[in-house]
């Protein structure tokens, strides 16, 4: 999306006041004006966040009417994405429209089907014929192959690779640098840990995690000398 330098930026309401909301706020600054943050009243500790007013979600429609302001929900994968899904449904019930945030570095193909309240951060690659549902958050440098179907309320972390014709069920979390094979079905509400390889279909609410790196029993400077000696 491009804007004339003299044109006012489109205004939007941003739900959230945590790390994800702060990150998305700064991503959006070149293209959108955040008129206000909003969260549940119990979560507000200051009248402003990042220099922008923050108002109770319980009364947001009386202060920033839905006929004028669209919204975007910036909540992480809390409770397997259910909190983000719930706030989306509540805001929709208040009459709000939703925007998508798509970073300018993302290439959008003509036959991409995209829901609403969805985020695609920088250098995401989505191949032709793919559909992405509502309230799904896709982080930087993720590659989604042709003909994939990404469900509602998913969280796909940075560096994930999903091969072609694969389905990702609603509310699924995929950790950083995970890889999903082609023509597979990852069922609803699965947790796929960082750097995990998936090569078969899953069933709902399964958890897949890979072993983490092991500590080598040498300090780093001695390890480098050990490597150098092993090459001679």
Residue 60: closest CA among 102, 106, 91: 91
Average pLDDT over residues 3-18: 83
Q: In the chain, what percentage of residues exceed pLDDT 70?
A: 97
Residue, of 40 and 212, whose pLDDT is higher: 40
Q: How far is CA 109 from CA 28, 71, 127, 151, 162, in A?
A: 21, 24, 7, 18, 17
How confident is the model at residue 62, as a pLDDT?
Answer: 97
Decide if pLDDT at 2 tops 80: no
Residue 32: closest CA among 87, 84, 69: 69
Decide if pLDDT at 3 tops 60: no
Per-residue pLDDT reduced to its tens digit, 90-130 = 999 999 999 999 999 998 888 999 999 999 999 999 999 99
Per-residue pLDDT reduced to its tens digit, 194-209 = 999 999 999 999 999 9
Per-residue pLDDT reduced to its tens digit, 122-173 = 999 999 999 999 999 999 999 999 999 999 999 999 999 999 999 999 999 9
**Any idea how long the chain is?**
232
CB atoms under 10 Å from CB of 89, counted, come to 12
The Cα 203–Cα 199 span in angstroms is 13
Query: What domains are there in the chain, each with its CATH number?
Result: 11-93 (3.40.50.20), 102-206 (2.160.10.10)
């Amino acid at each position: 999306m491009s804007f004339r330098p003299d044109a006012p930026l489109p205004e939007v309401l941003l739900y959230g006041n945590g790390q994800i909301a702060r990150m998305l706020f700064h991503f959006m600054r070149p293209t959108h004006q955040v008129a206000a943050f909003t969260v549940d009243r119990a979560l507000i500790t200051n009248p402003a966040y990042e220099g922008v007013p923050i108002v109770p979600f319980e009364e947001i429609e009386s202060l920033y009417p839905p006929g004028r302001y669209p919204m975007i929900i910036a909540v992480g994968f809390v409770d397997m994405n259910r909190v983000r899904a719930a706030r989306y449904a509540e805001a929709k019930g208040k009459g709000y429209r939703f925007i998508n945030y798509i970073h300018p570095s993302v290439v959008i193909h003509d036959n991409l089907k995209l829901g609403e309240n969805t985020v695609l951060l920088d250098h995401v690659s989505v191949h032709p014929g793919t559909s992405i549902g509502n309230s799904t958050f896709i982080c930087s440098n993720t590659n989604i192959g042709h003909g994939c179907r990404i469900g509602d309320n998913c969280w796909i972390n940075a560096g994930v690779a999903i091969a072609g014709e694969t389905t990702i069920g609603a509310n699924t979390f995929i950790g950083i640098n995970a890889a999903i094979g082609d023509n597979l079905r990852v069922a609803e509400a699965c947790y796929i840990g960082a750097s995990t390889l998936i090569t078969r279909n899953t069933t709902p609410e399964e958890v897949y995690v890979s072993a983490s790196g092991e500590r080598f029993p040498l300090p780093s400077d001695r390890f480098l000398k050990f490597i150098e000696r092993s090459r001679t």
